Structure 1
Amino acid sequence: MPQTQLLELAKSGNIEAFEARCLELITSGALHLADLVKPFQQLQKSKQTERAGALAQVVLENVDAAADPRAALHIARAAWVASPKDEKTRQLVVDLLTRCYADRPGFALVLEGSGITTGRAPRSALKYIDYCFDLKPGDVLHSRMDDRVVEVHEVDPGGGIVVIRRDARLTTLPVAELAREYDQIDPDDFRVLQQLRPERLNHLLNADPAALVIGLIRAHGRPLDADTLRAELVPKVIKAAQWSKWWTSTRSVLKRNPHVAMEGRSPVVLTYSEEAQTIEDDTWAQFEAQSDPDKWQATIESYFREKQKHNETADAALLQRVHDHLFKYAQSIRTKRAAEAVCCGLVIDRLAGMGLPATPESRGLAAQMLREAREPTALIRNFEDDAFWEGALLLLPTARPDDYVDHFIALIASAPAARLDTLVGAALKAGRADAVQAVVDASMADLVRSPEVIYWLWKGPKSRDGLKLPSSPELLIVILEKLSALLKHAGPPTEAVKQFRARIKAALSLKDFAQVRSCFEKIGGSAAITVRRQLERLEGLGDNAPYRMLDILREIHPELWIVKQERIERWSEENTLWCTADGLKKRTAERDAIVNVEMRDNARRIGEAASLGDLSENSEYKFALEERDLLRARLARVNEELSVAQTFQADDVPEDHVGIGSRVLLRNTASAETREMTMFGPFEADVERGIFSYKAPFCQKLMGLKVGERAAIPFDGRDQEFEIVQIENGMRSA
């Protein structure tokens, strides 16, 4: 239908195509003025006034205006707005107005008041006339000056006045003033609902939320996102706690509204169109915006599914346009981009099976190009979508019955994994196992360049007759070795390496790593150790895949994770400092004294010394700075000790051997002299009282010894041998 086509062209903003189509219709005598009303209104909205006006002149010169004066008036108005000084067009507008409105009361007075015959600007004159003849009681107007909304109470066209109502108060205004300051808006515009009809606002909130949202979009005059919508409604109209439930329900309603388009996510953007958008409109707009055969196919397949879902018949006109576009495009690129042209032919073949109208010529295009191609394999290798591989492989045996097997074999190394069973099956059936084996061997020698073949081998070929293929465990070992080898290569990974890793990750992950599990069950302990090391260093497969495979390996070979535990005595723990509760309290108090007393005093002394001036010769200032550094170092040491401090109790002290908290009686084996030592933590050390830190080197030599055992301990500047005579719990005997 011409009107639909012209409106779509007007919406697209392609004024050249719009003009060309109009001229075609004028030449063929098929142009009706009524078909141009909405397209011209669309062009004027999109700021195409001048081009629309020039075209309107051409239309009016070639189409009989008398046949449809009201439609002609719309076109003439556009022409006059574009050419305000054109006297001929102005007079045509006056004549058409007379034809359409002469029977209206006060017509002559309205025409005179509008200034259309005395030189007033077209827009002002026409708006005056529209307000006189089109406004009616109950219509609403919006002030451009102060955002007020008023309701029309009464219109007197002959008198040139309009009575408006605001807050139950009536005001009479001249039509000229009203036209200058007010614009007519929809009764369900959100500004109307807010200011004049709050009761309808509350009604629409639940009864017709789509109308409420559309009113908000109109009020804003542009697409509206969900965040802005929420800001407008919460909490003035909807309570914050109710928003989520209301928006979820409203969004479902809006999806089915032909006037609202929803695009994007977080937030969703809502766009309103006065013209209802059918699924055919949306589908064609999406189809026309695309440029790839695979996307064209996906779009029309989605359209067929949607129509089938609602038990509706697909639109014949849309399907014909799709067919014509595909076939015309394929013919235009046939010699320049043959692979893409074949894909277009394959799309036609596939969609024809779903209901797309096709001619013998268009449906045979792909097969013909494959038959005539010097190197069909070169065409097919350029296909990026697996669906096109599938279609081409179905056509090739009939298109080239004499040599299709040779081409199948040539395609094995580069085909998607999903097509390899078809290719290999045909080759094996033709007795060409040796050729297939050669491809497999070459792929195993260069895994990175053969990810699809490796994926196919891992998943499991349908036919193995006459082929020597690696077992799954053998293939897994080879894959892991290659992945490990790739880690040693310097520099960023190449595109081929990235694709290889991605494909291998997909292969290993099949059925929750079922094949990997089977392999782990078959490999022995030594191989499992190697696999564990490889998996722990694995990169390029993401985080989850290596961890999941390690979990499976641990489940099947738990012995790999058994580690012999060696007891570490407390006195040997490097990252722990054992002490008593009193010792910890004492050390904490020391830390607090450094921070709260000594460092504050030092800061005060630094300030006092600095105030004396001439810092280069100020010994007090230098001393204060040195003291500050010492305090900082001391504080750092104490904080470090406290961070690793752990307290022990009397029950923690061993009584059968020397440990932390032991009181020991030692006898010098040479002089029989005895000494008593208590070994606590460094916080409690007091040499004069015979209390030593267990961290001291000579105390470490005693740790673990029992009564009767001896050790050489440095005393009085020389090593002397001492025997353990008695061991007591120093916590209890203190």
Structure 2
Amino acid sequence: MNSEAVSALIAKNPPLKAAKAQLEAMEPGAYVIHRSWGFGRIKDYDEAAQRLIIDFKNKKGHAMDPAFCLTTMEILPANHLLVRKETDPKQVAELIAENPVQLVVETLQTYDNHATTAIDLEITLGQVIGEDKFKKWWAATKKALAKDPRISVPQKKTECYVLRETPVSAEDEILEQFNSTRSARRRITLAEELIEAIGKKEINTDLSVVLTGVAEAVKSSNQLDPSERLYGAAVRDELARHLGIDPATFEPQQPALVANARDLPAIAEKIPVHFQARFLELVNATHPIEGRDILFNLLKTSQGKFTTECINFLVEQGHADELAAVLKRWQTEQNLRAPVLLWIVKNRHSKKFAKLLNDLITPRLLGAIFFAIDYEALQASSARRIPLADILSDDTELIADLLSTADPETARDLANTLMLNQGFEELTKKSLLARFIKIFPKIQTLVDSEAETREEQLIVSKASYERKREEYETIVSKKIPENSKAIAAAREHGDLRENSEYKMAKQEQQVLMAHKTNLERDLGRARISDFKDASIDQVSVGTVVEVASVKDGHHTTYTVLGAWDGDPEKHFISYKTPFGAALLGKKTGDVINVKTDASDEDYAIVSIARYADKAS
């Protein structure tokens, strides 16, 4: 906008006088960023309509009121990164690929005070680099920024990246942060960063204050749990070695922190991944006699990457044969837990472990996998993903490998177990069953019988439906969780082959899961009725039928109701019973024959009435 156009706009709207400089900056060719439309460029100004014409990425030639733009649009300087991407794309591309830290430096230079929040910086860089590449690029760039003395890196996204007037060494910056915090955890983390920063180079900064602070945190801070204290001691000792100080002068020593074998599983659960191998070495050295047994116990309760670390360490220590025997025993005792099972199936074809795992790849292992998936699904408080279930679905060869030595009966039992499993969605179950059927075609009858059962609707009263629903809720919310706890408690008692509590809990689980599945199937088939559409032309669900025994003439009145409404004392019978089924469709005067275990008797239908009429 030229000065005449701005003056005309202000004359029409005097309050705009305070924004004269901003309006004059809205000239053709200027690049802008709009709150809603994003990046664009002013193409022209329509003086007659008093509208800016702006080309946005997805909206060319968009007309906008300059007064409105004052609060919603920013005029970008020529050195802004988004502008440079348009005017000098080659240089920006080179910085992105070869010198990302310099790109950030030059970006910060365009802001007032050479600082902006992490959120704003990431948004700008993301627009320039592209969403598909930004995440990986930014992860690597942040690591480089942390080591650059020119830039102050924030701890939180709401804090600012600052381009310093005077560069500060990485160790001095860490030292500054160390002195400004009293958090024991943060001090240990900063000390670790300091060790990485100083490496093997000569340093002039006095780091004794850091060593003293970490040593005090490890010794007396009540903020640290046992795993954090152990890791802090390891960081303390490494820093001491860097400073030429004997780590043995500090207390507590690392071996003392792993001396109690009962504490080790809890410590192992929380230690950092990169410290896991060192932790195993420390445990083994601290417990020279019972170390092997402790390591196997840690493997038994391990999870995530620690499972792999345990197995690799045991193999490296020459315990491969013992490991194979222990895994086989745990399988027999049904003590293989999900993380170890996951490691087994992932490594079953690896050259390093194939021989060790060969005897485990059996139908029994598939049963253990199903149990572990079901158990984890029952324990989960939310719909979190189950890694074992994912790999069983994603690895198309896994079921075939596990069923390679199965007989048809075993395969059918495992297919039934799959159908009752709580850890899979219905579509996934069908996909996995298809793999069973490919190997054992007769298992198709399981799917067919289930489909037939689901097709048949059940007519039920509202009251009986609610009773079934309450029964289902009790099983799901109370009985199954209680049973899961009983199984977990029984597992801790040792060898499951001689564990009667475990066997009883497992049997109860099978009953509960089967009952739950049947209830789900029945509730899904149920159609609630008030029986008001019943006809008196013939017996149907919702009719009151008077019958006479052909043998002795004795009259009895029965009410034929829903599938779950039987009540012998009231002479209510379900239409699904043999007597109810025999009555359906019959008319007054018809004679029916009813066979039971004790008798074979004929009845004549005397009259038919509607239950709804009598109930009202």
TM, length-normalised to structure 2: 0.39
Higher relative contact order (CA 8 A, sep 6+): 2
* Larger Rg over CA atoms: 1
Taking structure 1 as the reference length, the TM-score comes to 0.34
